[in-house]
Amino acid sequence: MKNGLRKSGMKHALDKSVKELRCLYDIASITGAPDISLHERFAKIVKMLPRAFQYPEIASARITLNGEEFKTENYRKTDQKISADIMVQGTKSGTVEIGYIKTPPTTDKDLFSKEERLLMDAVAERLGTITEHRRAEEALEESEEKFSKAFRASPNAMVITSQKDGRFIEVNDSHIHVTGFTREETIGRTTTELNAWVNPKDRRRIVKILEEKGHVDNEEIQFRTKSGKIYTGLFSAEKINIGGEPCLISVSIDITEQKQSQEILQTVSHSSPLGIYITQDDRLQYTNPQFQKITGYTQKELLGRELLSLVAIEDSDVVRSCTAFTLQEDNPYPCEYRILNKTGQIKWVMQTVCPIHYEGREAILGNLMDITERKYLERKVIEYEELSKMKSDLLATVSHELRTPLSTIKGYSTMILDYSSRLGSDETMDYLKSIDNSADRLTKLVDNLLDTSRMEAGLLKLERSPTNISQLIQKVAAEAGIRAGDHKIITKLNDKLPRLNIDVKRIRQVLDNLIDNAIKYSPQGTEVLISAKKNGRELLVSINDQGAGIPAEELTGIFDRMYRIEQRLSSDVDGMGLGLYICQGLVEAHGGRIWAESTVGQGSTIQFTLPITSTVKRKMKRLTKSARRKNSLVVEDNIIHRKVR
Ligand code: ADP
Per residue in 51-92, pLDDT (tens digit) is 888 888 999 999 999 889 999 999 999 989 999 999 988 889
Residue 312 sits in a domain whose CATH number is 3.30.450.20
Is 550 exposed, middle or buried, given 0-12, 13-18 or 19+ CB atoms closer than 10 A? buried
Which residue owns the Cα nearest ligand 1 atom 2?
A: 575
Which residues, in sequence order, are CB contacts of 103 under 8 Å at separation 6+?
80
User: Could you tell me if 218 and 326 lie in one domain?
Assistant: no
Whole-number Cα distances in Å, 466 to 156, 286, 591, 625: 95, 65, 15, 16
- What one-character-per-residue DSSP string does 293-326 give? HHH---HHHHTT-BGGGGB-GGGHHHHHHHHHHH
Q: Rounded to 5 degrees, what are φ and ψ at 187?
A: -60, 135
User: Could you tell me if 206 and 76 lie in one domain?
Assistant: no
User: Could you tell me if 381 and 469 lie in one domain?
Assistant: no
- Say yes or no: CB of residue 579 within 6 Å of ligand 1: yes
Domain stops at, among 409, 424, 453: 453
- Calculate mean pLDDT across residues 327-349: 90
Burial 341-379 (b: 16+ CB within 10 A, else e): beeeeebbbbbbbeeeeeeeeebbbbbbbbbbeebeeee
CA distance 242 to 249: 10
The answer to whether residue 624 sits within a structural domain is no
Query: Other C-beta atoms within 10 Å of 104: how many?
Result: 16
Measured in Å, residue 518 CA sits from the centre of ligand 1 at: 8
Residue 633 has pLDDT above 90, yes or no: no
CA distance 438 to 64: 134
User: Could you tell me if 436 and 471 lie in one domain?
Assistant: no
Residue 643 has pLDDT above 60, yes or no: no
pLDDT in tens, 137-154: 778 788 888 888 999 999
Residue 431 sits in a domain whose CATH number is 1.10.287.130
User: Could you tell me if 249 and 273 lie in one domain?
Assistant: no
Altogether, the residues listed in the chain come to a count of: 645
Over the chain, what is the mean pLDDT?
A: 87
pLDDT in tens, 587-632: 999 999 999 999 999 999 999 999 996 544 454 444 433 333 333 3
CA distance 298 to 293: 8
- Say yes or no: CB of residue 159 within 6 Å of ligand 1: no
Question: Residue 568: which pLDDT band, with cuts at 50, 70 and 90?
Answer: low
Q: Which of 446, 517, 545 to mutate to test the pocket of ligand 1 (most atoms within 8 A of CB)?
A: 517
Q: Is residue 496 classed as helix, strand or coil in its secondary structure?
A: coil
pLDDT in tens, 415-459: 999 998 888 889 999 999 999 999 998 998 899 888 988 888 888
Whether 219 and 234 have beta carbons less than 8 Å apart is answered as: yes
The answer to whether residue 481 sits within a structural domain is yes
Residue 23 has pLDDT above 50, yes or no: yes
- Calculate mean pLDDT across residues 197-218: 91
User: Could you tell me if 575 and 444 lie in one domain?
Assistant: no
Which residue owns the Cα nearest ligand 1 atom 23?
A: 518
Domain enclosing residue 400, as ranges: 377-453
Whole-number Cα distances in Å, 251 to 184, 222, 608: 20, 14, 88
Measured in Å, residue 588 CA sits from the centre of ligand 1 at: 19
The answer to whether residue 104 sits within a structural domain is yes
The DSSP bridge pattern shows strands 527-535 and 488-493 to be: parallel
Sign of the Cα pseudo-torsion (170, 176, 178, 181, in order): positive
Q: Which of 455, 580, 584 to mutate to test the pocket of ligand 1 (most atoms within 8 A of CB)?
A: 580
Closest CA to 42 of 20, 13, 66, 22: 66
The answer to whether residue 504 sits within a structural domain is yes
Measured in Å, residue 577 CA sits from the centre of ligand 1 at: 7
Atom index in ligand 1 nearest the CA of residue 581 equals 6
Supply the angle between the helices 114-153 and 2-32 in degrees, to the nearest 10: 10
- Say yes or no: CB of residue 518 within 6 Å of ligand 1: yes
The H or E element that residue 599 is part of is strand 594-599
Supply the angle between the helices 425-457 and 372-419 in degrees, to the nearest 10: 170
Measured in Å, residue 562 CA sits from the centre of ligand 1 at: 10
The answer to whether residue 146 sits within a structural domain is no
- What one-character-per-residue DSSP string does 449-479 give? HHHHHHHHHT-EE--BEEEEHHHHHHHHHHH
The answer to whether residue 487 sits within a structural domain is yes
CA distance 245 to 22: 42
Question: Residue 461: which pLDDT band, with cuts at 50, 70 and 90?
Answer: confident
Atom index in ligand 1 nearest the CA of residue 580 equals 6
What is the structure's pLDDT at 645? Answer: 38
Q: Rounded to 5 degrees, what are φ and ψ at 594?
A: -140, 140
User: Could you tell me if 170 and 244 lie in one domain?
Assistant: yes
What is the structure's pLDDT at 532? Answer: 97
Whole-number Cα distances in Å, 369 to 284, 308, 345, 554: 17, 17, 16, 42
- Say yes or no: CB of residue 580 within 6 Å of ligand 1: yes
Atom index in ligand 1 nearest the CA of residue 563 equals 10
Residue 603 sits in a domain whose CATH number is 3.30.565.10
- Calculate mean pLDDT across residues 38-46: 88
User: Could you tell me if 11 and 133 lie in one domain?
Assistant: yes
- Calculate mean pLDDT across residues 187-200: 92
User: Which value, to the nearest 10 degrees, does the dihedral of the CA atoms of residues 390, 393, 397, 399 take?
Assistant: 110
The answer to whether residue 110 sits within a structural domain is yes
Residue 60 sits in a domain whose CATH number is 3.30.450.40
Domain stops at, among 337, 352, 370: 370
Whether 72 and 62 have beta carbons less than 8 Å apart is answered as: yes
Closest CA to 354 of 414, 278, 453, 420: 278
Domain stops at, among 326, 346, 370: 370
Residue 113 has pLDDT above 90, yes or no: no
Atom index in ligand 1 nearest the CA of residue 547 equals 24
What is the structure's pLDDT at 109? Answer: 75
Q: How many domains does the chain have?
A: 5
Atom index in ligand 1 nearest the CA of residue 575 equals 2
Which residue owns the Cα nearest ligand 1 atom 4?
A: 575
User: Could you tell me if 483 and 442 lie in one domain?
Assistant: no
User: Could you tell me if 269 and 405 lie in one domain?
Assistant: no
Residue 396 has pLDDT above 90, yes or no: no
- Say yes or no: CB of residue 604 within 6 Å of ligand 1: yes
Residue 155 has pLDDT above 50, yes or no: yes
Measured in Å, residue 595 CA sits from the centre of ligand 1 at: 12
User: Could you tell me if 501 and 604 lie in one domain?
Assistant: yes
What is the structure's pLDDT at 571? Answer: 56
Which residues, in sequence order, are CB contacts of 443 under 8 Å at separation 6+?
none
- Say yes or no: CB of residue 278 within 6 Å of ligand 1: no
- Say yes or no: CB of residue 521 within 6 Å of ligand 1: yes
User: Could you tell me if 604 and 479 lie in one domain?
Assistant: yes
The answer to whether residue 620 sits within a structural domain is no
Whether 576 and 448 have beta carbons less than 8 Å apart is answered as: yes
Residue 353 has pLDDT above 60, yes or no: yes
